Amino acid sequence: MVERNAHNKDLTRRQFLRFIAFATFISSGTYKSPQIAEYLLRNPDRLDFTLNALEYYYTNKGNEVARSTYRRDPQPNSQRQSLLKIVQEGVRLYGKPVSYTFYEQRKSDELWDEKISNLASQINGVDLVQFIQGDLYASTKIQNTSDQIVSYESDTDPSTLNSILGANYTIYSLEDLKKTPHSSFYNKSDQDVQGLINKLDTLIKKIGSQNPISTSFILNFFLQQSIGNLSMAIQDTALFVKLYARNDLTSGKWLGSDHKNKPIKISRYKNIRDEFLPMGEHFMEDMNIDNSKEEPDLDTNNLLGSTYHAWDTLATMRMLPPRLTAKASIVRVLEAYQNQGNYKIASIAHVARQLPQIERYLSTLK
């Protein structure tokens, strides 16, 4: 017998029952976020199954929040599509050959799985997730272990390392963009950086005001800047969609959580499709029409982050292999950003599950 759920292909009845049991176990509260995170790291063979269960559980939990607030069910997001299709559409729009280059010291998932498995029994009393984070940042909190897993130096590529396992890259000024290696903004003049931002902002407003654009449009823009360097264009896209959601476009200053800044951030994203959230129309604006609710699952300003979380995850995969990147993205939101809401966690799990497929596509681009 075969069952079907909204987030996965057909499952055998046995797989379906195990899936439901795991999702129910999560919902019981027996498994807290840190335990789920450790489970992901310690059980690499259960990654897709676990991410699927997390997406299922957190989508339903978000639905419960919306239902209890508005006494009606949110509708499935009709604009949602796979990140792979978005990337492929950006490449199609560019219309010229593209290349993708992984970081030269990038380690395989198999090596990471082996290292983590070997070290898991040797770090008694130290949370494994924190160990991996500390190791990637060459932390001194755990002595004499920083080279056992990975040899990256903290300044090798700060723009991407800052995204790994815990520090979603935050831009506080245009100087931060100019200091970002492997991007079109790197070492550019203030005038050039501002020119790129203004040009893309103008295009988004012009085209998006008629029909919200896909982020594939933004990827195409940066492919033109990088002359077909897809890894750089993905990094640029990740930086820009974060800037567009959270910063002043002239100074680059982070707008923070001040309520008076919410309208400008939301108004910009009216021109960009909601491509990653599981439910609602345009970052739940169909439910929270006046944006008066600050519940994370209904707060449009909060939910804009689903876009840059997705692209940030994809940019991270240039340095880390797909399974570890998948773990990193979900660990980050479970451990460090637990106030992000259920729908955003579900969207991150959904993107994380796509990474092996995206990796196969990127590997064909030389």
Q: Transcribe 69-96 into DSSP letters.
A: HHSSPPPB-TT---HHHHHHHHHHHH-S
- pLDDT of 196 reads 95
- pLDDT of 74 reads 87
Amino acid identity, position 3: E
pLDDT > 70? residue 142: no
Distance CA 306, CA 329 (A): 12
Higher pLDDT: 333 or 50? It is: 50
What is the percentage of the chain residues whose pLDDT exceeds 90?
A: 34
2's enclosing H/E stretch is strand 2-3
- Give 12's contacts (C-beta < 8 A, 6+ positions apart): 1, 2, 3
Q: How large is the average pLDDT for residues 177-187?
A: 84
- pLDDT of 158 reads 36
Distance CA 92, CA 103 (A): 24
What does the angle CA 264 – CA 268 – CA 271 come to, to the nearest 5 degrees?
Answer: 150
Q: How large is the average pLDDT for residues 322-330?
A: 84
Question: Given pLDDT bands bounded at 50, 70 and 90, which one contains residue 146?
Answer: very low
Q: Residue 272 pairs with which residues in a beta bridge?
A: 213
Among 6-20, 199-213, 284-298, the range scoring the smallest mean pLDDT is: 6-20
| Arithmetic mean of pLDDT over the chain | 78
Q: Length of the chain in residues, anyone?
A: 366
Question: Given pLDDT bands bounded at 50, 70 and 90, which one contains residue 88?
Answer: very high
Residue 76: how many CA atoms within 13 Å on its side-chain side? 5
Amino acid identity, position 109: D
Question: Given pLDDT bands bounded at 50, 70 and 90, which one contains residue 310?
Answer: very high
> What percentage of the chain's residues is helix, strand, coil (to nearest 5)?
55, 5, 40
In the numeric block, which tokens belong to residue 252? Answer: 């680059």
- pLDDT of 19 reads 55
Cβ contact 278:80 at 8 Å: yes
- pLDDT of 18 reads 57
pLDDT > 60? residue 294: yes
DSSP state of 108: P
State which of 16-25, 55-64, 77-86, 131-140 shows the largest mean pLDDT: 77-86
pLDDT > 50? residue 17: yes
- pLDDT of 215 reads 98
Of 211, 168, 166, nearest to 307 (Cα)?
Answer: 168
Q: How large is the average pLDDT for residues 76-94?
A: 96
pLDDT > 90? residue 103: no
- pLDDT of 71 reads 79
Distance CA 61, CA 296 (A): 12
Q: How large is the average pLDDT for residues 99-120?
A: 81
Q: Phi then psi for 11, rounded to 5 degrees? A: -120, 145
Distance CA 298, CA 283 (A): 8
Distance CA 24, CA 6 (A): 16
Cβ contact 40:50 at 8 Å: yes
Among 50-54, 89-93, 307-311, the range scoring the smallest mean pLDDT is: 50-54
- pLDDT of 121 reads 65
Query: With the C-alpha atoms ordered 296, 297, 300, 302, is the resulting torsion angle positive or negative?
Result: positive
- pLDDT of 2 reads 33
pLDDT > 80? residue 229: yes
- Give 112's contacts (C-beta < 8 A, 6+ positions apart): 149, 320, 321, 323, 324
- pLDDT of 299 reads 85
Question: Given pLDDT bands bounded at 50, 70 and 90, which one contains residue 149?
Answer: very low
- pLDDT of 9 reads 44
Cβ contact 96:226 at 8 Å: no
Helices and strands of the chain, counted as H and E runs: 17, 2
Read off the pLDDT of residues 183-219 as tens digits, 9 standing for 90 and up: 898 889 999 999 999 999 999 999 998 899 999 999 9
Of 325, 310, 313, nearest to 275 (Cα)?
Answer: 310
